[in-house]
Amino acid sequence: MITLPLGPAKTAEKPGVAAAGAGFFHFEPPAIHYTPATVMERAFEDRLVRMQDGVARRVEPAQLAGVKFYALYFAAGWNASCRAFTEKLAEAYPKLRELYPEFELVMVSRDQSRAAMVTSMHIEQMPWLAVRWDLNVGATEITRYGRGIPCLVLIDAEGKVLADTYREGALVGSDAVLKDIWKTLFDYRRGHPAVKVKG
């Protein structure tokens, strides 16, 4: 586990304009109107991207509708421990999403640049969402959960911490949190059966 200071704040890009000289980010104006309904939906509004065809594309706020649990993953591509744990997450994520659509994973990058973050997401084939690198510093309602890297934190839709890589000041590791995620979602499903949609 490595604890990192945050870098200086960066100037946010205008919607619809790619990063100058980079070509890594593509942001389009909102396609539909949606009003975020929870604390975390509001925190993530217009701050998320997802890799698509090698480009980090804007995530519509409406895509978080119905999400009740978020795993915040603080990581950096240059860190070997992060890369090793990312492999485990990449294996678990599609299974978690298939069984529990109320769950979503959001990465908060600790890479040194936008290009490094996007390159890492592309090379490691990260399927989950990520906070725009240039907005990490200002998003204190999100970044306050991470103490180092790799760090995995499970929170509910209102921002309450349910499982953390640190417990009572002691490091327990991200693997323990991943196990807690499975257990929390399993227990949730027992009380909230999935509704099957008839085709």
**Given this model, what pLDDT does residue 169 score?**
82
pLDDT confidence band for 137 (50 / 70 / 90): low
Q: For the residues 132-144, what does the mean pLDDT come to? A: 81
CB-count burial class (<10 Å; 0-12, 13-18, 19+) for 35: exposed
Total number of domains constituting the chain: 1
Task: Tell me whether residue 195 is in a domain.
Answer: no
CB 2 within 8 Å of CB 149 = yes
> What is the average pLDDT score of the chain?
84
**Given this model, what pLDDT does residue 31 score?**
53
pLDDT digits 0-9 by tens, 9-60: 333 333 333 333 334 444 444 456 788 889 999 999 999 999 988 888 999 9
Task: Tell me whether residue 22 is in a domain.
Answer: no
Task: Tell me whether residue 24 is in a domain.
Answer: no
Task: Tell me whether residue 109 is in a domain.
Answer: yes
103-126 CB burial, b ≥16 within 10 A, e <16: bbbbbbbbbebbbbbbebbbebeb
Number of H helices, E strands in the chain: 5, 10
**Given this model, what pLDDT does residue 10 score?**
37
- The phi, psi pair for 143, rounded to 5°, reads -70, -20
**Given this model, what pLDDT does residue 2 score?**
54
Task: Tell me whether residue 27 is in a domain.
Answer: no
Q: Residue 51 pairs with which residues in a beta bridge?
A: 56
Residue 122 belongs to domain spanning: 35-189
CATH (domain of 183): 3.40.30.10
Task: Tell me whether residue 120 is in a domain.
Answer: yes
Q: For the residues 123-134, what does the mean pLDDT come to? A: 93
pTM for the predicted model, two decimal places: 0.81
Task: Tell me whether residue 90 is in a domain.
Answer: yes
Task: Tell me whether residue 3 is in a domain.
Answer: no
